[in-house]
Amino acid sequence: MTRDAVVIGGGVSGLAAAHGLASRGHKVTLLERQTHTGGSAITERLGGFLMEHGPSTMNAHIPAAGQISSELGLDAQRCDLGVGVRNRYLVSAGKLSAISTGPLGMLTASYLSPMAKLRILADFLLPQRSGGKDETVMDFCSRRFGKEFAERIIDPMVAGIYGGRASALSVSAIFPKLVALEEKYGSVSLGAMHARREGGKMPGSRLFSWRDGIAALPRALALGLGNRIRTGATVRRISPCHGGFTIDLGPQGRLQAKSVIVATQAHVAAQLLAGLDPQAATAAGRIHAPPMAVVFLGYPRRQVAHSLDGLGFLTAEAENRKLIGAQFCSTMFPGRAPAGHVAVSAYIGGARAPHMARLPGPELIRLARSEFRDLIGAEGEPSIARVRHWPLGLPQYEIGHQGLAEVLRTTARRHEGLFLTGNYLAGPSVANCLHLAQETALAVHGYLEGRNDIQFRRSAAR
Ligand SMILES: Cc1cc2nc3c(=O)[nH]c(=O)nc-3n(C[C@H](O)[C@H](O)[C@H](O)COP(=O)(O)OP(=O)(O)OC[C@H]3O[C@@H](n4cnc5c(N)ncnc54)[C@H](O)[C@@H]3O)c2cc1C
């Protein structure tokens, strides 16, 4: 068998895993079913606008993000958040209200009642929870900071970042640092103060992108991989064979490799693993990804009343808005709109309102326009309007997720040479995907080296 590894899926996860193997000298082939690589990282330039239809930001707090930017020579076109980003907004009583970060700001915020502010402080005094059962983000935050804070601040955040509901997602899966602070210090707030004093990093994000948008990353990875990539190649089945695996591409034939990395979405992994590792297939099949729609709108500047001096806004469910949230794209990064114009994008659906994400494009544009008219005073016809439907948006890290992820991350223990990577295992952000893909490539490298070592010893002994 001459091929060391086949990577299935050409999103950021698969590309980064293949890059990690190729740069260690392994013979690798990446198979992608679409005609282009990048997966959900899709950037489009049209009429002077730069539109992100999927991810729009990289989290610099995760070292893999900055490292890959340097390694691929993308630093020259890297852009950090624009100076105009002074606020993050929350929709409160039908209006945008700047979210104050830091405890003092929170205590003077207009979007929380006096009782809710007092209740936040109770976190300093409340006893630590006993018993290690997984808890939802909503239960954890309500217990520590009160229900109003959890519903008005945390749930919108969870909807904006994970497309999910705080009442369903597992706190230990998505905010493990908060759980650890409670465990170590008895109080999240006390823990955060200690951690800051000790120079530790708090959960957070520092965002960046590139001049040509997020798609610059998969493009650079794909360029480096060159003819190791085969697009338009849909994997139908993986089966074990002597010395490795056979990868069945239906009418396009078969490939063989010593190892396989499945780097697809969870539901595809479930199908591909069904005959091979039923335990992993069942676990992958239990990870849902509700639909999401992204509506990008560009307006002449004079048609929008709001200063757009922020990242965008989030909405609490009780506000009954049609949008989960929105980004002020042209404030966030340079070059997102032509001179004299602004660009905003709306996020619709997710676990909160999956049916809304399935509405036809023109209906979604109508909804987004009407919400932007109400909330940021965007009047008249937009200069550009584009919709992207994601039938399966972001994977939901629900209660019990860590058990599922454990089963999925240990496929190689049950089937030597079989590895998984992707956004449903160790965090959905692009930076999380990069980090896990690099770890996976290292594990595959270790496996291949060990295997070669055994073969070398066997042939030397003959
Ligand atoms: C609307 C939206 C907004 C987001 N915003 C952000 C953000 O701002 N910041 C951030 O960090 N993250 C964001 N994310 C999350 C992030 O974009 C994704 O989690 C990440 O890009 C996933 O990469 P991946 O390679 O794991 O999966 P994917 O990008 O889904 O790639 C999987 C690939 O596998 C291929 N494939 C599937 N089946 C087969 C098969 N049988 N054979 C061959 N190939 C196959 C698919 O065609 C696809 O290309 C967002 C996601 C969405 C949907």
Write b or e for each residue in 132-144: b if 16 or more Cβ atoms lie within 10 A of its Cβ, otherwise e: eebbbbbbbbbbb
H-assigned helices in 198-290: 216-225, 266-273, 278-285
pLDDT score for 460: 59
Task: Return the ligand 1 atom nearest residue 268 CA.
Answer: 38
Of 163, 167, 157, 125, give the one whose Cα is nearest residue 144. Answer: 125
Q: How confident is the model at residue 102 (pLDDT cuts 50, 70, 90)?
A: low
Residue nearest to atom 10 of ligand 1 (CA): 429
How does strand 310-315 pair with strand 292-300? unpaired
pLDDT at residue 133, rounded to an integer: 86
Per-residue tokens: 9: 């899926």
| Mean of pLDDT over the chain | 93
To test the pocket of ligand 1, the residue of 264, 292, 419 to mutate (highest count of ligand atoms within 8 Å of its CB) is 264
pLDDT higher than threshold 70 for residue 243: yes
Q: Which helix (H) or strand (E) segment is 134 a member of?
A: none
| CA-nearest residue, atom 34 of ligand 1 | 9
Nearest to 316 by CA among 93, 121, 162: 93
Question: Which residue, judged by its Cα, is nearest atom 17 of ligand 1?
Answer: 55
Q: How far is the CA of 362 from the centre of ligand 1 (A)?
A: 25
234 CA: nearest ligand 1 atom? 42
Return the ligand 1 atom nearest residue 422 CA.
Answer: 26
Q: What is the pTM of this model?
A: 0.95
pLDDT single digits (tens) 36-77 = 999 999 999 999 999 999 999 999 999 999 999 999 999 999
Q: Find the Cα–Cα–Cα–Cα dihedral 206, 212, 215, 217, rounded to 10°.
A: -70
Diameter of the chain measured on Cα atoms: 81
Mean pLDDT of 446-454: 82
- From 266, 287, 291, 431, select the one nearest 347 (Cα to Cα): 291
Give distance in angstroms: CA of 112 to centre of ligand 1. 36
Q: According to the model, what pLDDT value does residue 107 have?
A: 74
The CATH topology of domain 112-127+134-197 is protoporphyrinogen ix oxidase, domain 3 (1.10.3110)
Q: In what order do the strands lie in the sheet with 78-80?
A: 58-59, 207-210, 78-80
Task: Label residue 452 by pLDDT band (50, 70, 90).
Answer: low
Q: Is the Cβ–Cβ distance between 20 and 41 less than 8 Å?
A: no
**Residues 285-332: tens digit of each pLDDT:** 999 999 999 999 999 999 999 999 999 999 999 899 999 999 999 999
Where does residue 209 rank: exposed (0-12), middle (13-18), buried (19+ CB within 10 A)? buried
172 three-state secondary structure = helix
Measured distance CA(8)–CA(411) in Å, rounded? 15
The ligand 1 atom at the shortest distance from the C-alpha of residue 15 is 25
Q: Which of 387, 430, 432 to mutate to test the pocket of ligand 1 (most atoms within 8 A of CB)?
A: 430
Q: Which residues of 445-457 are buried (b: 16+ CB within 10 A; e: fewer)?
A: bebbeebeeeeee
Answer yes or no: is pLDDT of 270 > 70: yes
| Cα 239 to ligand 1 centre (Å) | 25
Tracing tokens 């909503």 back to the chain, one arrives at 138
Nearest atom in ligand 1 to 9's CA? 34
79 CA distance to ligand 1 centroid (A)? 22
Beta strands 418-420; 384-390: pairing state: unpaired
Question: What spatial distance separates the first Cα and last Cα of the chain, rounded to whole Å?
Answer: 20
- Asked if CATH classification 3.40.50.2030 holds for the domain at 43-60+75-84+290-390, the reply, yes or no, is no
pLDDT of residue 11: 98
Hey, which CATH number is domain 5-40+215-288+397-461, 3.20.20.70, 3.30.1330.10, 3.50.50.60, 3.40.50.1370? 3.50.50.60
pLDDT digits (tens, 9 = 90+) for 170-229: 999 999 999 999 988 888 988 888 877 776 555 555 899 999 999 999 999 999 999 999
Closest atom of ligand 1 to 388 CA is: 1
Virtual torsion, Cα 421, 426, 432, 436, nearest 10 deg: -40
Cα–ligand 1 centroid distance for 11 (angstroms): 5
DSSP per-residue codes, 52-108: ESS---EETTSHHHHHHHHHTT-GGGEEEPPTT--EEEEEETTEEEEPPPSHHHHHH
Going by alpha carbons, the residue nearest to atom 37 of ligand 1 is 264
Q: Of all residues in the chain, what percent carry a pLDDT higher than 70? A: 95
Question: Which of 19, 32, 37, 40 most suits a substitution to test ligand 1, by most atoms within 8 Å of the C-beta?
Answer: 40
Indicate the top mutation candidate among 157, 423, 424, 432 to test ligand 1's pocket, ranked by most ligand atoms within 8 A of CB.
423
Domain ranges of the chain: 5-40+215-288+397-461, 43-60+75-84+290-390, 112-127+134-197
CB burial of residue 459 (10 Å; 0-12, 13-18, 19+): exposed
Burial of 338 (0-12, 13-18, 19+ CB in 10 A): middle
If 0-12 CB within 10 Å is exposed, 13-18 middle and 19+ buried, where does residue 123 land? buried
Distance from Cα 396 to the centre of ligand 1, integer Å: 14
Q: Distances in Å between the alpha carbon of 301 and those of 49, 338, 343, 443?
A: 13, 10, 9, 51
Measured by CA distance, the residue closest to atom 14 of ligand 1 is 55
Encoded amino acid at 348, one letter: I
Short-list 303, 299, 294, CA closest to 330:
299
Q: How far is the CA of 398 from the centre of ligand 1 (A)?
A: 19
Q: Which residues line ligand 1 (CB under 6 A)?
A: 8-14, 31-34, 39-41, 54-57, 59, 234-235, 263-265, 268, 292, 294, 390, 393-394, 422-423, 428-431, 433
Distance CA 109, CA 314 (A): 15
Phi-psi sector, 317: left (phi>0), alpha (psi -120 to 50), beta: alpha
Nearest CA to ligand 1 atom 25: 11
Closest CA to 107 of 116, 98, 94: 116
Would 5-40+215-288+397-461 and 112-127+134-197 be classified into the same CATH topology? no
Q: Which residues contact 40 (CB under 8 A, 6 or more apart)?
A: 11, 54, 55, 390
More confident residue, 105 or 383: 383
Q: What is the Cα–Cα distance from 346 to 418, expressed in whole angstroms?
A: 39
